[in-house]
Structure 1
Amino acid sequence: MLTVVMTADETPDATVTLPVRVRDLLPRDLPACTWSGSATHLRHVARALERAEAGEVDYLAVCTPVDLPVAIGGVDYQVAAGAGTLWQLAVVPALQSRGLGTLLIRAAEQRIKGRGLHRAELAVEEDNPRARALYTRLGYTAYGRAPDGWDEEGPDGSIRRHETMCVLMRREL
């Protein structure tokens, strides 16, 4: 269940509770996922969905009652031996801190265990303390650091390289 407290300028607070469900992300969902990143990012997600068909990854979506994704993320089984690596985790910004990220991560961990693996890993940017706090709260511990980088398409169509340093985290399942 997702609970959202909404306020308007002239009305009192209202609480809305909606059921959500986790399912596989599908190619038909991509137009509804523009909130998760740029066009370049969505092309990467589309490639990940092709890898899902080959069994190399799982890609999940937390969906509303009208079947719209409000959180998405993948588990890559090709990165670390004996583990599933969580990546590309995202929640609609207006719905963050409502438990959707936790639900998504726990569902991803179930997929990892379903493959007979007992460890989940992820990398979180050092300048993202909010995400790192979530992962720590969910039992992930830091075990190292590594650089990461990716290309992003700008609004003008130019390609820019994003470089960052990540904290590597893991959790025994």
Structure 2
Amino acid sequence: MAEVVVPLTVRDLTEDDLPACSWYGNATALAAVAEAIRRRRRGEVDYLAVCTPSGLPVAVGGADYTKPPGAATIWQLSVQAELRSCGIGTLLINALEQRIRARGLHWAELGVDDNRSRPRALYERLGYVVSGTEPGAWDEEGPDGTITRYETRITLLRKQLL
């Protein structure tokens, strides 16, 4: 099998990118991303996209500077399903950590659903260590438009950024 190497870039995600992010989720999920982009303009977050040479986003995620004090929370990470396990998530997290450092912060935190071991393995490989747990819950919209409440336990992970 031949290996294909495609150069990727990381940049701020914009409202103009949202139509190309249908892989991210339903309208409710994309509305949360749009809100994050608005928060970026207020300086509360950074919200990045990893893009192909054509400029299409294949991964997105943010760093929230409003909590906890002295750290940033990395959140809303997603890589297009067909491109997972190709190093794109690592590229995105590294870029977010650079943005966090540029703000003069030395800690990054994130939470992972205990029912999703694959992302947790990535975070631990990147140096994140368990710092606690908390309950998690959110509404999920099914393909038929019905809303169900999803409840889980979130493992909190933390990394010192040097």
- Give the corresponding residue for 1:117: 105
Distance of 1:163 and 1:127 partners within structure 2? 10
1:150 correspondence with 2:138: yes
Q: Do 1:61 and 1:72's aligned partners in 2 also have CA atoms closer than 8 Å? A: yes
- Give the corresponding residue for 2:36: 48
- Give the corresponding residue for 2:56: 68
- The residue identity in structure 1 corresponding to 2:28 is T
Q: What's the secondary structure of 1:30's corresponding residue?
A: helix
- Give the fraction of aligned pairs with identical amino acids, expressed as a percent: 58
Q: What's the secondary structure of 2:115's corresponding residue?
A: coil
Distance of 1:67 and 1:127 partners within structure 2? 33
Distance of 2:149 and 2:142 partners within structure 1? 10
1:84 correspondence with 2:72: yes
State the shift of 1:169 in Å. 0.2
Segments of 5+ residues of structure 2 without an aligned counterpart are none
Distance of 1:163 and 1:38 partners within structure 2? 19
State the shift of 1:37 in Å. 1.6
Distance of 2:134 and 2:85 partners within structure 1? 27
Q: Do 1:38 and 1:152's aligned partners in 2 also have CA atoms closer than 8 Å? A: no
- Give the corresponding residue for 1:106: 94
Larger radius of gyration: 1
Query: Alignment partner for residue 128 of structure 1, among 116, 120, 127?
Result: 116
- After the TM superposition, which of the residue ranges 135-144 and 13-22 deviates more from structure 2? 13-22
Give the aligned length.
161
TM-score by length of 1: 0.90
State the shift of 1:154 in Å. 2.1
State the shift of 1:38 in Å. 1.7
State the shift of 1:89 in Å. 0.3
Distance of 1:164 and 1:34 partners within structure 2? 25
State the shift of 1:100 in Å. 0.3
Segments of 5+ residues of structure 1 without an aligned counterpart are 1-12
RMSD between aligned alpha carbons?
0.9
Displaced runs of 4+ in structure 1, greater than 3 A? none
The structure with the largest strand share of the pair is 1
- After the TM superposition, which of the residue ranges 157-166 and 53-62 deviates more from structure 2? 157-166
- The residue identity in structure 2 corresponding to 1:65 is P
Distance of 1:160 and 1:55 partners within structure 2? 33
State the shift of 1:79 in Å. 1.9
1:24 correspondence with 2:23: no
TM-score by length of 2: 0.96
